[in-house]
Amino acid sequence: MGAPQIHPSAFVDPGAKLGEDVVVGPCALIEGDVVIGARSRIDAFATVKRYTSMGEDNHVHSYALVGGEPQDLKFHGEVTRLVIGDANNIREFSTIHRGTEDGSGETRIGSHNLIMAYVHVAHDCVVKDHIVMSNNATLAGHCFVDDYAIIGGLSAVHQFVRIGSHAFVGGCSGIDQDLPPWMLAVGNRATVRSPNIVGLRRFKASLELLSAFKQAFRVTWYSGQPRPDALMQLEAEYGHFPEIMEFLSFVRESKRGILPAEERKKILD
C-alpha cells in the first residue's frame, strides 16, 4: 500500500482526499470536497466534481463526468451529494449527477456495477448493486434500480420509475412505469413480454420457481381478475417462494403502476 500516484498534468484540489494506491491519469480533474477510496483509478481526462465520495476499487474511465450538477431548473447551487460504493466500472463519457434539495439530497450508486459508455444517471437516483447499464442507457431523476437488473443500450427510464431486482430491459426501450422483479420488458413504449427466464436460469432457479414465475406472469397480466385478487391467488399458491413474495410486494407497493403486457397473450413453454 502506498501514496496516490498522480500524473503531473492532472489537477487535484488540495481539499480532495485520496486513499492509498489511487491512480490519477493525465489531465484528470478532481475538485475539492471529494473522497476517493483506496486502489481506485481515475483515467486521463476524467472529471470528479465536488461533493462526491466513492469507496474502494472503482475505475472511472476517460472523459467520464462523475458528480456533476443536476439538470434541474429548481437547482440553484445547493450542497448535495453523490455517494458511490466499491468496485464500480464507470466507462467513457458517462455522466452521473448529484442529488437535489427537493429530492433526497443525494444520488447513490452501490457496488460492483458496470456503467457503460455514454450512460446517464440523473439526480436523486438510487442504483444498487451488480447492475449493468449498457451503452447510452439513461435514467431520469429519482429512479430506483434494484440489484442485478440489466438495462439495455439506448433505453430511457422515466423519472420516479422503479426497476426491480433481476429485471431485464431490452435495448432501445422506453420505460414509463415500474418493472417488477424478474420480469423482461422491451419496446418503444415498453411492455412486459415474459419472466426473465435467462436471468432465472443464471440464478440457478429450480424448475418449480421457473414455473411459478410463468404462472405469476399469466395471472398478473392476463387472468382478467382485478389485480388485488390476482396477487392474493399467487400468494396463496406460491407464497413459499421468497422471490415470488418480492414480486408481489413490488406490484402492491408500486406508485406509478406497473408496465402493461403485450395486447396479445404470449404462450410460454
Domain ranges of the chain: 5-142, 199-253
Whose CA is closest to 230, among 246, 200, 252?
Answer: 252
In single-letter form, the type of residue at position 119 comes to: V
Q: Output the DSSP codes for 215-261.
A: HHHHHHHHS-S-HHHHHHHHHHHHTTSHHHHHHHHHHHH-SS-BPPB
Tell the burial category of 126 from Cβ atoms under 10 Å away from its Cβ (0-12, 13-18, 19+). Answer: buried
When the pLDDT of each residue in the chain is averaged and rounded to a whole number, the result is 97
Whole-angstrom Cα distance, residue 36 to residue 21? 10
The whole-number pLDDT of residue 264 equals 62
pLDDT, average across residues 230-238: 98
Q: Is the pLDDT of residue 267 over 50?
A: no
For domain 199-253, say whether CATH 1.20.1180.10 is its number: yes
pLDDT, greater one: 132 or 266:
132
Does 5-142 match 199-253 in CATH topology? no
Contact 139, 128 (CB under 8 A): no
Which positions are catalytic? Answer: 123-124, 141
- Cα–Cα distance for residue pair 69/128, rounded to 1 Å: 21
Cell 492532472 maps to which residue?
10
Res. 87: pLDDT tops 50: yes
The tens digit of pLDDT for each residue in 15-37 reads 999 999 999 999 999 999 999 99
Produce one character per residue of 142-172: b if its CB has 16 or more CB atoms within 10 Å, e if not: bbbbbbbbbbbbebbbbebbbbbbbbbbbee
Judge whether residue 95 has pLDDT over 60: yes
- Quote the pTM value: 0.96
- The CATH code that applies to domain 5-142 is 2.160.10.10
